A = this chain, B = another copy of it.
Amino acid sequence: MKLVSPGEAAANTNDMSVEAGEDLARIGEMAKKYGVTLRTLRFYEDKGLLNPQRDGSTRLYTRRDKARLKLILLGRKVGFSLRDVKQMMDLYDPTGSNTKQLRLALDKSEKQLARLQKQRALIEDAIGELSNSMAAVRQMLIERSPQASVAS
């Protein structure tokens, strides 16, 4: 039943001797596991955010790709653009202390936080205005149909 997990022991014409961890996933599994579409994964790759290995033409995602995808999704959740996410991830250097990367991330985060707070203010403003308008409209409806009562 396992169409997946090609890492299973023997008879692999297409061996993927990728050392230790056999946590290779194909695009369908990835999509299901992280709640994205295939198109999304290919799109992220096209944009240079992911770089899965290939077995022939089939994409194989390692746990490193999974970590990156998690980061992408977190970034999108907090409102970063894919370009921002890429910029931050591109600075990652497994041999260094990544101080620059962290500083950039922190800097971008501060700006994004400010944007979010501004957005929240705008939305609250909109909520206020909309509530006002609704009250006015309800009033007009009451005046125009004196016999009916408005629910809630």
List the interface of chain A (C-beta within 8 A of B). 74, 77-79, 97-99, 102-103, 105-106, 109-110, 112-113, 116-117, 119-120, 123-127, 129-131, 133-134, 137-138, 140-141, 144-145
A52–B38 alpha-carbon span in the complex (Å): 48
A98–B113 alpha-carbon span in the complex (Å): 44
Q: Which residues of B contact A144 (CB under 8 A)?
A: 97-99, 102
Cβ distance A138 to chain B, nearest Cβ, rounded Å:
7
Task: Choose one: B78, B126, B127; the contact of A129 (CB below 8 Å).
Answer: B78
Task: Choose one: B77, B103, B127, B137; the contact of A105 (CB below 8 Å).
Answer: B137
User: Which among A77, A78, A98 has the highest number of chain B CB atoms within 10 Å?
Assistant: A78
A78 near B126 with CB under 8 A, answer yes
A81–B7 alpha-carbon span in the complex (Å): 51
User: Which among A97, A113, A123 has the highest number of chain B CB atoms within 10 Å?
Assistant: A123
